[in-house]
Amino acid sequence: MVSFTCCLETLDCISVALFHFLSALFFFFFVPPLFFIGGCASFILSSLYFPEKLLVLLRDGRKLLGILRSFDQFANAVLEGACERVIVGDLYCDIPLGLYVIRGENVVLIGELDLEREELPAHMTRVSAADIKKAQKAERDATDLKGTMRKRMEFLDLE
């Protein structure tokens, strides 16, 4: 009887050891630790654990500012306290957006803002959202007029 219980204890120890060995192999090959992740992912992970203000440049040219709260492998991101920074000439406006979800395919650039430095040059003037919309419309109209004038002048072939 003694040898039978001793054999069971040995089998139990072997099965526990085998379980620990297999689980260690699984975690080694399939679950990389955080310090193995390099490049942009390590920057984004550090922003999750130590919240910093980020600038996100989108494909359509918009600039979003906010605190990164989540992201995934497709660069989809969630910004808390987000605002859109609109700059026209020497005027700028921060339009508050709140909690904002960004689809990863629209992200061109993600960068950390240095809170120690001044964000904008001294000559920039902060204006209201209505004023910046008027300035945007005026700038758009000017570029449209320039484009139509260029089309009208093509026949001259100034080159």
Nearest residue to 81 via CA among 95, 67, 69: 67
Give the full edge-to-edge strand order of the sheet including 107-112.
107-112, 53-58, 63-71, 77-88, 91-102, 125-126
Q: Where are the domains of the chain?
A: 2-30, 40-127
Best CA proximity match to 33, nearest among 22, 43, 42: 42
- Residue 43: the pLDDT is 55
pLDDT one-digit tens code per residue, 49-108? 666 788 999 999 999 999 988 888 888 889 999 999 999 888 999 999 999 999 989 999
**40-127 carries CATH number 3.30.1450.10:** no
pLDDT at 136: 87
pLDDT band at 159 (very low <50, low <70, confident <90, very high): low
pTM of the complete model? 0.60
> Which tens digit of pLDDT belongs to each residue from 25-46?
555 555 444 444 445 555 555 5
Which amino acid is it at 31? V
Residue 110's nearest CA partner among 49, 35, 46 is 46
Q: What is the pLDDT of residue 112?
A: 87
